[in-house]
């Protein structure tokens, strides 16, 4: 009797095997999607990213040590290198011989030699000095 039932199931699976497989896949995908949806409620919420303006913390007279004020103005120390990281010297940088200005982290700004760099705090100051925004620097 058990052998007869097994043969009937085997025969049914042969006839409807493809439909049964597709139905099983649809049901399993639905269960998996539901489980992922429930899992998203359990995980902690992430805080949104906020972008703030970038200021120059080393502007003269605003808390910068006297030894760093010269570096903010673009002056060099005795060794010929700046005393402060170039990114904190100004928001925009240009070459003395160039025609465009960049953010300090842009590829064009990284190619400028330190002794040829000129720093500006605003776009208007750079444009007033005759420079234009660099084409390869996103965000200008």
54-99 per-position pLDDT tens digit: 655 444 444 444 443 344 444 433 344 444 444 456 789 999 988 9
Interatomic CA distance for residues 3 and 9, integer angstroms? 10
> Does the model's pTM come out above 0.75?
no
For residue 10, being part of any structural domain is answered with no
User: What single-letter DSSP state applies at residue 28?
Assistant: H
Give the pLDDT band (50/70/90) at residue 1. Answer: confident
User: What single-letter DSSP state applies at residue 45?
Assistant: P
Burial of 71-97, coded b for 16+ CB within 10 Å and e otherwise, reads bbeeeeeeeeebbbebebbbbbbbbee
Structural domain of 35:
15-44
For residue 67, being part of any structural domain is answered with no
> What are the helix (H) ranges across the chain?
2-42, 66-72, 107-110, 123-128
For residue 117, being part of any structural domain is answered with yes
Looking at the structure, tell me whether residues 80 and 128 fall in a common domain: yes
For residue 61, being part of any structural domain is answered with no
For residue 95, being part of any structural domain is answered with yes
For residue 49, being part of any structural domain is answered with no
For residue 128, being part of any structural domain is answered with yes
Summarize the confidence of residues 10-39 as an average pLDDT: 87
Number of structural domains found in the chain: 2
Interatomic CA distance for residues 53 and 51, integer angstroms? 7
63 in Cβ contact with 77 (< 8 Å): no
Collapsing DSSP states into helix, strand and coil, what is residue 46?
coil
For residue 21, being part of any structural domain is answered with yes
* pLDDT score, position 70: 40
């Amino acid at each position: 009797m058990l052998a007869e039932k097994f043969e009937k199931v085997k025969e049914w699976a042969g006839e409807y095997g493809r439909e049964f497989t597709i139905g099983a896949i649809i049901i399993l995908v639905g269960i998996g999607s539901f489980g992922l949806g429930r899992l998203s409620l359990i995980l902690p919420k992430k805080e949104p990213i906020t972008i703030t303006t970038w200021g120059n913390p080393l502007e003269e007279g605003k808390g910068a040590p006297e030894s760093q004020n010269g570096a903010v103005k673009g002056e060099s120390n005795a060794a010929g290198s700046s005393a402060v990281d170039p990114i904190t010297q100004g928001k925009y940088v240009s070459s003395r011989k160039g025609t465009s200005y960049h953010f300090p982290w842009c590829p064009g700004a990284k190619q400028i030699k330190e002794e040829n760099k000129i720093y500006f705090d605003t776009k208007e100051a750079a444009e007033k000095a005759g420079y234009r925004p660099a084409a390869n620097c996103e965000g200008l």
